[in-house]
A and B are shown apart, each in its own frame.
Chain A
Amino acid sequence: MLHIRFNLNGKDVDADIHEGTRAIDLLRDTFELTGTKESCGQGECGSCTILLDDEAIHSCLLLAAQMEGCRVVTIEGLEKEGELDALQQAFLDAGAIQCGYCTPGMIMAAKGLLLHNPAPTAEEIRDAMAGNLCRCTGYKKIGEAVSLAADRQRN
């Protein structure tokens, strides 16, 4: 058993974990933050993407222990006082959501991108998000949503 402390969606939290506990399981099972999805468990789909100290990362490949002392943001942490994050609003407006199972991971991957590059080109969006699979949308509206959010954030 290990005891870890970290900041989760703006709140300091702590948890008792096994050495082998994956970050995704701690988030989903213990903290009941089920917005983070598991679709492959092997780092191949991006559904489980979260931010770890502002870097988009696959929480299925991350050990819970690695969150010690870090700032962790999940999809649930983006909405501020009932106001959607620009990316969430843009995904909605652009029609970038269908079944929605990839959506949290997509939005977190895009968040990671925009934190480092507030004005990405279409090309940069593609490159940054090519590790996130979506089986429903064909990606076009997802790319448009990220551009739209970036534009709205700048203006």
Chain B
Amino acid sequence: MTGEFTSIGKRVPRSDGRQKATGAFRYMTDIPREDRLYGALVHPRCSHALVDGIDVSGALACPGVVRVVTAKDVPGLNRHGLIWKDQPVFCDRVVRYSGDTLADVIAVTPEIALRAAALVRVSLSPLPEVLTPEEALAQGAPAIHDGGNLAAEYSFAKGDVADAFSRSDVIVEETFLTPYQEHAYLETEGGAARPLPGGGVEIWEGCQNGIRAARDLALILNVPEERVIVHSHPLGGGFGGKDDLTLQGILAVCAHACGKPVQIDFSREESFLVSPKRMPMKIRMKMGATWEGKLLAISVHLLGTCGAYACYGPAIMSLALEHACGFYLFPHVEVAGELGYTNNSLVSAFRGFGNVQVNFAVESMMDMVAEKLGMDPVAFRRMNALRPGVRTSYGYLTSPSVYADGVLGKLEETELWRDRESFRQSAPKPWLKRGVGMAACFQGVGLGNHCFPDSARARVDLREDGTFLIAFSNEDMGQGNVTTLQMMAAESLKVPLSRIEAVCGISGQVPESGATTASKTTYLTGKAVLGATEKLLAAAGKALGCGRDDLVLDDGGANGRPWSEIYALLPPGERSWEGSSEFQYVEERYDFGVHYVYAYLSQVAGVEVNTLTGEVRVLKTEMIPASGRVINPLGFEGQCEGGAVMGMGYALHEDFSVPGNPRGITRNFQTYLIPTMADMPDIAVTAMEESEVTGPFGASGIGESVAVTGSAAIMNGVFDAVGIRIRELPCSRETLLREINGNNKKTER
């Protein structure tokens, strides 16, 4: 399959790997600390209050304290936000969640800053706390924002749902609950800013969209955009949690106010307190089907919260509704979602955003309907799956590269699925029950047509020595996009990978290629890189006196001339080229956004339930991703394996707890359990490399779909093992044990 390619499809170690393995790699939190000051933030002790006053005299009296920065020091707009600018950099009038920032104490050492921060006296008049979206959207609820507590609501209806349910032979109606999930990237938020001579700042903090951050910071500082330089690459993990500003606004204001460089590093506890989580959701779903196994109708209601500020909340609700029917075809549809502000943890982008929650519901429901029908769950899915050229449940046409049936068919061929009976029988002890479950998904690639235009630019420079530099803005948070884009450039120029250097994540110095999010960099920025290399090849053709089509590329040059010679032949203005790309959108417009390009994936999981302890272990799992051609199998598998384990954590352990007390009881890794190597299942990945016809080299995006199907596949496996249907994540030992004890008959399968 890789025969026609020189770079693509090779298992390539990532280009920054050697530096990462030797410790030489510098994250933004590692930059040597020359003459700089340190900040420690003051957060409120409650989650909803009026700010009456902030007394900083005690802190200022501490030797070593230089200044205490508050809302008064913000020179421009004291607001930021991905969709709406509703989040203050420093709280001014109102506290809306316990991770808000009231003040930053700046001192000569971090220790002094921290001690002095405890001496800042804040007078607050408590307001009633609104902790759940139910409370928030109830009549007469205290308003968190001037416009009320409804952050967004979207809906869509098609056909006659009531009539279709009355004609259905089988109906399943259920309510599912999903938890807050913490990104738990290992590098906590942190970095530094320094004032620029003549106004503005230069800032170093890992972020998934440095150029947009620079734009927001310019508004906050009230300076022209070019007076803000943001270094946003690399990141020690992001997963969506570093898409918005984290500390940059505070750092910028402090550096500006102090006239000196300022550094702030979050502890794990502060990161957990302040940072956004995955949106918790209450999902009501009803499905109807005929005895023959044809789906007739679906009704879905989603209730979620974005926390105290909108963040990416509306986009997540939009994506959840878009994916709420799975990739199945329902002739009659009604879906609706409501998003409420609460005084709880912030909620924003998180790998697979929106889809992760609804997929748990849809794929559990598909199993439940199949069971009622007495049908094989995969056969039932295949009967109702989207096909190329067929309109989705909402009525739009996607890219013809539809692999819904494909990933289901391949799943049927996996050993675990074929031999599931022997897996069930393989439990070594009578109290251990084994079962096999599966789930499938599609995942829109890119942001869709909801809130932002989604385009990318990239540049390629031919350099004097015959090597190339590619430039784009997308940061690498670990997913490996830099290596992937280098490979694409190397392929299109037919030069060894070592000839392609890459630069990214410095605002003002690289072309804007959009947020590094939504599984889109390989696809969108990949196309922009290829656009740029094509222009360079055309120019080279001209310089060599032939057309682009007559250019014969070989290992180090074209038409027998090395690239260093071609450099000399090219006019100076033709050695550097920019390419751009845009997503294609569907013609139809909905309340919420939809996509044209989707990635597909199915997953099978072999689980073991300990009926004495309620513990669930995933012993084996196999993933079948279809996201077009695989550019770098090593990185691709890494995404799948990491996603599988992250999905498993969501299903079984991860529950960022914010009960009653919005400050929450989850503070660190002692109480927030992410999977460890001891929990790791046996993971296999079999990519379906059918091409995405609209993608660069036929690729689409893999980053998110891999984290989507885990919970349903595992819970369907739990049902297969012990006959218990889990409707609330994570599947706690207590719940499972209670159900097992109350339901002993069913465990004797």
Contacts and interface: CB of A to CB of B under 8 A. Distances in A.
Interface of A: 28-29, 32-37, 39-42, 44-45, 47, 74-76, 78-79, 84, 88-89, 91-93, 95, 97-104, 107, 125-127, 129-143
Contacts of A103: 20-21
Given A39-B268, A130-B677, A75 B22 contact: yes
Given A42-B669, A126-B680, A138-B643, A101 B22 contact: no
A84 B23 CA distance: 12
B641 A140 contact: yes
Given A41-B268, A44-B670, A95 B185 contact: no
Q: Max chain B CB contacts within 10 Å: which of A34, A44, A93, A131?
A: A34
B678 interface: yes
A74 B23 contact: yes
B680 A34 contact: no
Contacts of B185: 99, 101, 135
Which secondary structure dominates where chain B touches chain A? loop
A152 to B, nearest CB: 15
B23 A98 contact: no
A104 B676 CA distance: 17
Which of A95, A103, A107, A131 has the largest number of chain B CB atoms within 10 A?
A95
A140 B680 contact: yes
B642 interface: yes
Given A97-B20, A135-B184, A137-B642, A130 B676 contact: yes
Contacts of B18: 84, 88, 92
- Lowest 8 A-B CB distances belong to which pairs? A35-B23, A99-B478, A101-B236, A100-B20, A138-B641, A75-B23, A138-B645, A98-B478
Contacts of B11: 95
A149 to B, nearest CB: 11
A135 B237 contact: yes
Nearest to A107: B21
A102 B637 CA distance: 18
A99 B646 contact: no
A45 B267 contact: no
Contacts of A75: 22-23
Q: Which of the listed residues B23, B183, B634, B683 has the most CB atoms from chain A within 10 Å of its own CB?
A: B23
Pick the most buried of B24, B668, B676, B678: most chain A CB atoms within 10 A of its CB.
B676
B674 interface: yes
Interface of B: 11, 13-14, 16-18, 20-27, 30, 32-33, 183-188, 234-239, 267-268, 477-480, 634-635, 637-638, 640-646, 668-670, 674-678, 680, 683
Contacts of B187: 37, 39, 99, 101
Of listed A89, A129, A137, residue having the most chain B CB within 10 A: A137
Contacts of A37: 186-187, 236
B21 A84 contact: yes
Contacts of B642: 98, 135-138
7 contacts: A35-B25, A76-B22, A95-B14, A126-B680, A135-B239, A138-B640, A138-B642
Given A95-B637, A129-B677, A141-B638, A45 B21 contact: no
B619 to A, nearest CB: 14
A100 B54 CA distance: 41
Nearest to B16: A100
A135 B477 CA distance: 12
Contacts of A129: 677
Given A99-B236, A107-B21, A40 B268 contact: yes
B638 A95 contact: yes
A147 B477 CA distance: 26
Nearest to B183: A135
A154 to B, nearest CB: 20
B24 A76 contact: yes
Contacts of A47: 186
Given A95-B637, A135-B183, A138-B642, 17 more contacts: A35-B22, A40-B668, A40-B669, A78-B22, A79-B22, A84-B22, A88-B18, A92-B17, A98-B638, A98-B642, A99-B477, A101-B27, A107-B21, A126-B677, A133-B674, A135-B674, A136-B479
A125 B27 CA distance: 28
Contact of B669 (A88, A104, A133): A133
Nearest to A47: B186
A98 B186 contact: no
B186 A133 contact: yes
Contacts of A44: 668-670
Given A34-B30, A107-B21, A135-B184, A143 B13 contact: no
A45 B271 CA distance: 15
Contacts of B188: 39
Contacts of B637: 95, 141
